[in-house]
Amino acid sequence: MATTKMKIKKNKAGGHDVMVLAKHPMETGLRKNKKTGEKIPAHFIQTMEFALNGTVVAQANLGAGVSKNPLIGIAIAGASSGDTVSVNWIDNKGEGDSAEKAVK
Amino acid sequence: MKRRIFLKGSLAAGTVAVAAGAGLLAPARVLAATWPEAAFAAKTEADALRAFFGDAAVVDSDKVSLKAPLQAENGAYVPIKVMTSLTDAEAIAVVVEKNPVPYVTSLQMTVVAGGMYSARIKMAQTSPVNCYVKAGGKLHKVSQEIKVTIGGCGG
């Protein structure tokens, strides 16, 4: 169901920017179904872990206040060519997805 | 009698030491994949900050910058980017004052991760967006007001 894409780019500081696009509805739990008037239950990504060569370097905490299909970017310093960057996210229903890419 | 007081005193000191120890251990726990539920449950900015960062002094800083639009056409997608030149940054938090859940998102990082965090956030209405970067026991703050013409929470 879920797709997660990752892009790695060199940044001006000499490190790399990692952008992750996760496909996710990010429901707040406040929205109502217009036809039935029922509340749509909350469904959002909670944590997104970034790892460099298997070691976790950063963790993003997301709430329902993050837009649908979140695009999250972080910078990693000290990654060199051939290193692998991976991302792993989990939502409030325990579902998750991961992606992995090598640094060019 | 004095001995008793002494014992009581040392017990109290012991408790303090344990508390300090727990505080010192916190950075190691940072990347243990825990979602800061208390911060997201907080209804006010101050509560959220206390839940996430603990007590820390807030300072306005020019070492943190926020790149965001002055006006967002759609509150459901407001792109923001926080950058910092602080090398000892531990965490970044984004707080939108007037959202139903003010604490929107945060990033906890190690030294390997550079000082950048970007995301697209929802904004219910025109509100100041405050970004906090924790470094060296202080909270470096940068703020910008973003005008919203269509809200993004609750559609």
Query: pLDDT tens-digit profile of A29-39?
Result: 778 777 887 88
Ranges in chain A, pLDDT < 50: 1
For chain A, first and last CA: distance in Å? 28
Of the CA atoms within 13 Å of residue A10, those in its CB half-sphere come to 5
| Nearest to B128, CA basis, from B92, B104, B154 | B104
| CB distance B100 to B153 below 8 Å | yes
Residues near A26 by Cβ (< 8 Å), separated by ≥ 6?
Answer: A43, A44, A45, A62, A64, A66, A67, A68, A69, A70
pLDDT reported for residue B7: 52
Interface contact flag, B118 A70, Cβ < 8 Å: no
Instruction: Name chain B contacts of A31, Cβ cutoff 8 Å.
Output: 154-155
User: Tokens for A74?
Assistant: 């972080």
pLDDT reported for residue B8: 55
The answer to whether A58 faces chain B, any CB pair under 8 Å, is yes
Provide the ipTM: 0.81
pLDDT reported for residue B49: 86
Global pTM value: 0.75
DSSP symbol at B111 = T
Instruction: Name chain B contacts of A55, Cβ cutoff 8 Å.
Output: 112
- Digit-by-digit pLDDT tens for chain B (155 residues) are 555 555 555 555 554 444 444 443 334 344 555 788 778 877 788 888 888 888 788 888 888 889 988 888 888 888 899 988 888 888 899 999 888 888 888 888 887 777 889 998 988 888 889 999 988 888 898 989 998 886 655 54
User: Tokens for A31?
Assistant: 């929205």
Interface contact flag, A50 B77, Cβ < 8 Å: no
Task: Label each residue of A45-103 as H, E or C.
Answer: EEEEEEEECCEEEEEEEECCCECCCCEEEEEECCCCCCCEEEEEEEECCCCEEEEEEEC
Dihedral sign (CA B46, B47, B52, B53): positive
| CB distance A62 to A47 below 8 Å | yes
Of the CA atoms within 13 Å of residue B136, those in its CB half-sphere come to 5
